[in-house]
Structure 1
Amino acid sequence: YKAKDSNLRVLLRNYRLSDDIGFRFSSPWWNEYPLDATKYARWLAAAQGQVITLFVDYETFGEHHWPEGGIHEFLRALPGEANKWHHLNWRTPTEAIERHNPVGEIDVHEYNTVSWADIERDPSAWIGNPMQNISYDSLKELEQLVKGIGDKTLIRLWRYLQMSDHFYYLSIKGGGPGDVHNYFSSMGSPVEAFAVYSRILSDLEARIRAELEKPELAAKRVLRRLPAGMGFTFSYEFARSSGVTVQSLHEFLSSLKTVDLSSIRFHMERGDFERWLRHVVGDDKLADQIAKVSQSKRKLKGEALRKRLLAIIERRIEQLKTVAKVPAGLKETEK
């Protein structure tokens, strides 16, 4: 096959023949047990298509299947048995794609990722259940923070926690797939693996936030672009969205210049700006300044209110940029 809109050649794994070696070779319950090289070569000879691609893990030969079970003897005998069939030839991947033209085009959308794990053969071995989703989302939320610090040690630790094995151990599947997940895990159960991973991730987050208390980094954190789901959405009244959502202080300032005054008044009366700036953006100083405007005995209205808010936020952004050492004219979110 070839990848869609590309000249990249793709060799698809023959999962049945591959799994006969990788997973079923040592299974007494399998109706083809025991499997020997003669029988397997016969299956290869009967297979359809131009190329038979056999993909198995290195661990298959000695770890998944112990030498005492005959896996090494099987591997040693297979080339000779296959060579007895005149229409079978051994080829490297490069030789295979050079000898044969693609028979079709394949397109795998990013949300339809394929794998050779479990029965589903999709990403559900690593992502999907609540423990996996929570762990993944928590790890992802640290990305901008740890990259903003730029500390190589913290970034390396953060990347270590992205290893797929951590999420694989959180699988709660049953049956055969569950047995495979448990076989590879060093933990007593997925729940134990989740507890351990969460503690380690919390420790890393604590280290990151301790670094962010330094003035320069604290300013950069406030100026950062927030992850999806943490932005501020302007509304006119309860449950009536304006359709405008901002993800940073710069975007907040820009939108305040054009958003309808009724939306500004609505959020000021509820204290929404103050809460978002304090609890999401993380700028207590700016939140306090906005609160003072709201609590002032001299209530500003209309364009006067807008003008006052813009002046406060513009001044605060310039202060933060100075502390964060952001060059003049450059937004922190553009760096």
Structure 2
Amino acid sequence: MSIAPARVHFAAPDRLWPGYAEALPRVFAEAGVAAELSRDHPPGEVDWIVYAPGGPALDFAAFSRAKGVLSLWAGVERIVGTVPADLPLTRMVDDGLRQGMAEWVAGHALRHHLGIDAHVLRQDGVWRHVAPKLARDRPVTVLGLGELGMACARTLAGLGFPVTGWSRRPRAEPRLAHALSGPEGLPEALAGAEIVVLLTPLTPETENLMDAARLSLPARGFVLLNPGRGALIDDAALLAALDGGQVGHATLDVFRQEPLPPDHAFWAHPRVTVTPHIAAETRVESAARVIAENLRRGAAGEPLLHLVDRRTGY
């Protein structure tokens, strides 16, 4: 007897539909997964929900027979509190996200390390023969050693930077100069850093992680890179630290409100670089393979990949 295809409801912004409408059925077929993708399945007939923020509002409780919610984003803070506790929720972790994030972080770390802005933006005919430090002499701290944070820490260490990593729970990585954890390890992780990268999940414990007190701990004039979550930073404290010289430059990819309002102070500040949430865009092809693998696992009764721990929120 043939098994009925799983009904997969695509709950994401309209702009994402054309790419996934082509890729997901093709990848399902390649993986041998029997599934019907639609944006119009009746909620009571849906087996799986593929989700991304910005789409139509969902009452997850209406999907009475759903086996899980499969997020296309690495962060799930927008829905972790609205998905019923007995409905499995996964976050997106894939090679495209890891590679994109590592490239953004490495590119901007090198940009600031080498002083590229000073050369490119001036071009005023003055010969300033000032050689940058070597990477081995510029300490970097990465806050958050999950999939994305660890990928960035390894990339930066591979470029020669002495990298200190910090995470909520202990994480071992031989390429790091130091691996610290827990609230007691955070001040030590920040102390003396010349580049700080924010990649922790956003939880009640990490909101405003970089407040005035913690912004004062790295080396004076340090560079702050935030491709993680906008609310990890106290915006007013950051602006004050920039104006006072404690923070030399902030390159920010994520914000409390997106798109960043045109009148926000970050746009006009001379020591802030804004990028429009592009550090780790989910790539359709690689994400489709992760979704297909989780559908295969669900059908086979195997554990889902990247299942969210409801106690921690990620």
TM-score normalised according to structure 2 size: 0.20
* Greater RCO, 1 or 2 (C-alpha within 8 Å, sep 6+): 2
TM-score (norm 1): 0.19
Q: Comparing both structures, which one devotes a greater share of its residues to strand?
A: 2
Higher gyration radius (CA): 1
